[in-house]
Homo-oligomer: A and B are copies of this chain.
Amino acid sequence: MIKTKKRGQLYVVSGPSGCGKDTIVQELLKRKDNIWLSISCTSRLPRPKEKNGVDYFFKTVEEFEEDIKNDEFLEYAKFADNYYGTPKKSIDNHLNNGEDVILVIEIQGALKIKELLPDTLFIFILPPSMKELKRRLEGRGTETKEKIDKRFLRAYEEINEVNKYNYVVVNDEVKNAVEKVEAILLSEKCRVDRIEELDVFLQSS
C-alpha cells in the first residue's frame, strides 16, 4: 500500500522527578521506529556522566541568550539561574519528515507548548503512590534530605496539573508503563483524523 507522508505527531512526556519518565522513554525508543527524541538545551554545567547531545545540549549563558535572540526555542525558561529550552527547528524538521517527536520536559514548559501547539499530545507519568515516589527519591542516595524534600513538595504541585494532560500512565512497573505509552502511540495512529492509510484507501476506492 502506498503511504501518504503525514506530518508526525508531537508528544510531550512529563512527570515528577523520580517517576521514571526517562527510563520509560529510553525503553520506548528501543522498541519503536520512526520516533525521534528531542534533546533540550541548557546553560547549566553538565553533571558527572551527563553527555553533550545525549542528556542535553550544553551551552554557555551567552550562547543560550544568542539563541533566544535568534528565536531558536519553542519555549525556554530559567530555573535557579540556569536556562532550559526546547529547540524549535529540529523538531519541525522531524515532524515534517513524518516522524513522531517526543519531548521530555517539565510541566511549565509543557503548558507553554500546549498553548503554542494545541495539537500536541501530553502524557503524564505518575509514580504508583507518593509513598513509593519518596522511596525512589531517597533510594537514589545522591541528594541531601533537603533537596529530596524539595523535589517531593514540587511533585505534589506538579501532580495538580495532571488534568491538563491527555493521558496518564502509572509507572508501577516499567514494562507495563512502556506498553501503555506504546499503546497510546499506536492508537493515536488509528484515529480517524490521523490515519495515514485512510486517504490512500478513499482515493483508491
Interface set of A (CB-CB < 8 Å, partner B): 1, 123-124, 126, 128-130, 156, 159, 162-163, 165-170, 172, 179-180, 182-184, 186-188, 190-192, 195, 197-198, 201-202, 204-205
Contacts and interface: CB of A to CB of B under 8 A. Distances in A.
Nearest to A165: B192
B124 A170 contact: no
Interface centre among A124, A168, A190, A202 (most CB of B within 10 A): A190
Q: Quick one: copies of this chain in the complex?
A: 2
B170 A192 contact: no
Contacts of A190: 123, 167-169, 180, 183-184
Contacts of A191: 166-168
Contact of A1 (B128, B159, B180, B197): B128
Nearest to A129: B204
A204 B130 contact: yes
Nearest to A131: B204
5 contacts: A124-B192, A129-B205, A159-B205, A180-B186, A184-B190
Nearest to A1: B128
A158 to B, nearest CB: 11
Nearest to A123: B190
Nearest to A205: B130
Nearest to A122: B192
B162 A192 contact: yes
